């Protein structure tokens, strides 16, 4: 009887393995995400090509390529001003939104005068970066690929999916942030 008990005990220990991990029901290959990345790259290349064609046709103006990925030209320069907006500054500004084929989407009257706390309020990505490039009293026209505009979602009103845009931005006033007091 003892040998039977020992045998059962040995078999019990040998049959105990660690917990076995569950295997996924579906195996994701990542191909959807890879295809999405490729589509995004192709869309950006197409939009950048269109923007560069617009710049080439506009030989009267000099455009600058920003580090954020937009292109812009100065329409009004304030040579006397030196300060550009910094995080937490209040910026009073106006802007309009135009399609790359020059169709007006929103006029500056539609949008109105806007007071924006730099980097603390929602604006579309391109505009959020562009505000920090201008000084008080300056106006510039920016060309944004859709990824810096309203992206794949649009604005749920007049701007559709993946629409590159042109924006003319004017900085009317900059109030510098002062250590916790605005």
**Confidence band (pLDDT; 50, 70, 90) for 27?**
low
pLDDT score recorded for residue 180 = 53
Q: What is d(CA 129, CA 26) in angstroms, rounded to the nearest whole number?
A: 41
Confidence of residue 36 (pLDDT cuts 50, 70, 90): confident
Phi-psi region of 101 (alpha: psi -120 to 50; beta: other; left: phi over 0): alpha
Work out the average pLDDT over 26-50.
87
CA distance linking residue 128 with residue 117, whole number of Å: 10
In this predicted structure, what is the pLDDT of residue 15?
Answer: 63
Residue 165's region, left for phi above 0, alpha for psi from -120 to 50, else beta, is beta
Could you list the beta-strand ranges (E) of the chain: 64-65, 71-76, 90-99, 104-106, 114-117, 139-144, 165-175
Least confidently predicted of 8-12, 154-158, 160-164: 8-12
Mean pLDDT confidence for 3-12: 66
Instruction: Check: pTM over 0.75? Answer yes or no.
Output: yes
Question: Using one digit for the tens of pLDDT, what is the confidence trace for 66-92?
Answer: 999 999 999 999 999 999 999 999 999
Confidence of residue 44 (pLDDT cuts 50, 70, 90): very high
The dihedral region occupied by 154, where left means phi > 0, alpha psi between -120 and 50, and beta the remainder, is left
Mean of pLDDT over the chain: 90
19 or 110, greater pLDDT: 110
* Residue bearing the bigger pLDDT, 60 or 5: 60
Structural contact between residues 117 and 174, judged by C-beta atoms closer than 8 angstroms: no
Q: Which two tokens stand for residue 9?
A: 């005990």
CA dist., res. 110 & res. 60, Å (int): 29
Contacts with 114 (C-beta within 8 Å, 6 or more apart), sequence order: 92, 93, 94, 95
**Res 173 pLDDT > 90:** yes
CATH code for residues 36-175: 3.10.50.40
DSSP string, 42-75: HHHHHHHHHHHHHHHH-TTS--EE-TTS-EEEEE
Question: For residue 4, is pLDDT > 80?
Answer: no
> φ, ψ for residue 164 (rounded to 5)?
-75, 150
CA distance 80 to 135: 9
């Amino acid at each position: 009887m003892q040998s039977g008990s020992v045998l059962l005990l040995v078999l019990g220990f040998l049959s105990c393995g660690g917990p076995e991990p569950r295997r996924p029901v579906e195996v994701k290959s990542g191909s959807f995400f890879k295809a999405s990345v490729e589509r995004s790259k192709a869309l950006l290349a197409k939009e950048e090509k269109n923007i560069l064609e617009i710049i080439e046709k506009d030989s009267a103006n000099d455009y600058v390529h920003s580090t954020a990925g937009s292109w812009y030209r100065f329409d009004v320069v304030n040579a006397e001003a030196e300060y550009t907006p910094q995080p937490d500054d209040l910026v009073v500004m106006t802007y309009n939104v135009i399609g790359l084929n020059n169709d007006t989407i929103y006029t500056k009257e539609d949008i109105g005068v806007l007071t924006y706390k730099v980097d603390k309020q929602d604006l579309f990505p391109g505009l959020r970066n562009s505000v920090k490039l201008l000084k008080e009293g300056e106006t510039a026209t920016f060309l944004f690929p859709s990824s810096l505009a309203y992206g794949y979602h649009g604005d749920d009103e007049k701007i559709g999916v993946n629409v590159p845009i042109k924006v003319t931005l004017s900085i009317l006033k900059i109030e510098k942030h002062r250590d916790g007091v605005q």
